[in-house]
């Protein structure tokens, strides 16, 4: 089989792996509502956390990180053995990431890709991944905004990669992932500026119609009619 065809199949497999939504898997396992029906309506770990079930959120986070890591790790390990082109690892990284963001199993409407991108970076280079995760963690702990942390980490990742390798094909793939992350978080940035962005751990707001108490009519006391004397 030609190496270019093997590379194409590897990218396709990575895309299908990325299309598995662990947010939906976790919600069904733990008996929760579809994460696309509450909060930010995003099938990701942060929104699952808004359900109040930390176990489901952790399961989602681990699953999304693991699929990004696994796809790139396998490509990095087997590409040299099978003589695959140098660009294979970068394309696999893009495939698994865009599989999460535009999953074929969910009508191409998926998550924002932060956790999957973290898994990709950890597989490309451990220190690159840890530096990017450290950026996310520092911003998240100080601001309590997951979206702001994701924006800052996405902006930092290509810088870390350029400092490590200079101009390289894998750096280009990281840049595309970062630009996509920033674009997916543009509505969050607008809400941050408006002061309406939910913080980490915040639960979905209940509509006012559900919380407004229903007023009941007071019973009317019967009045006695005076009889004429």
Buried-state track 93-106, b at ≥16 Cβ within 10 A, e below 16: bbbbbbbbbbbeeb
Enter the tokens of residue 144.
């309590």
pLDDT at residue 198 is higher than 80? no
Q: So what's the pLDDT on residue 135? A: 96
- DSSP-assigned letter for residue 167: S
**pLDDT tens across 85-98, in order?**
889 999 999 999 99
pLDDT tens, residue by residue, 64-93: 999 999 999 999 999 988 889 889 999 999
In sequence order, which residues have a C-beta less than 8 Å from that of residue 146 and are 6 or more positions away? 46, 114, 140, 200
Q: Where are the alpha helices (H) located in the chain, listed in sequence order?
A: 3-18, 22-29, 45-49, 54-78, 88-101, 114-124, 126-143, 146-165, 169-184, 186-194, 208-211
**9 contacts: CB under 8 Å, gap ≥ 6:** none
Residue recorded with tokens 């109040």 = 52
How far apart CA 197 and CA 146 sit, in angstroms, is 10
């Amino acid at each position: 089989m030609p190496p270019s065809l093997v590379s194409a199949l590897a990218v396709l497999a990575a895309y299908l792996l990325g299309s598995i939504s662990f947010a939906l898997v976790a919600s069904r396992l733990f008996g929760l509502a579809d994460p696309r029906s509450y909060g930010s309506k995003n099938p990701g770990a942060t929104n699952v956390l808004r359900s109040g079930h930390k176990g489901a959120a952790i399961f989602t986070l681990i699953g999304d990180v693991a699929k990004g890591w696994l796809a790139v790790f396998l490509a990095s390990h087997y590409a040299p053995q099978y003589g695959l082109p140098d660009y294979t690892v970068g394309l696999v990284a893009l495939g698994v990431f865009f599989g999460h963001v535009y999953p074929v199993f969910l009508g191409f409407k998926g998550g924002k890709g932060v956790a999957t991108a973290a898994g990709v970076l950890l597989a490309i280079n451990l220190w690159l991944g840890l530096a990017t995760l450290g950026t996310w963690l520092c911003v998240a702990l100080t601001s309590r905004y997951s979206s702001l942390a994701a924006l800052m980490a996405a902006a930092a990742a290509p810088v870390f990669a350029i400092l490590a390798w200079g101009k390289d094909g894998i750096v280009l793939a990281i840049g595309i992932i970062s630009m996509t992350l920033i674009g997916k978080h543009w509505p969050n940035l607008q809400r941050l500026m408006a002061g309406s962005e939910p913080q980490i751990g915040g639960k979905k707001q209940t509509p006012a119609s559900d919380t407004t108490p229903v007023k009941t009519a007071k019973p009317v006391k019967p009045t006695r009619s005076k009889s004429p004397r």
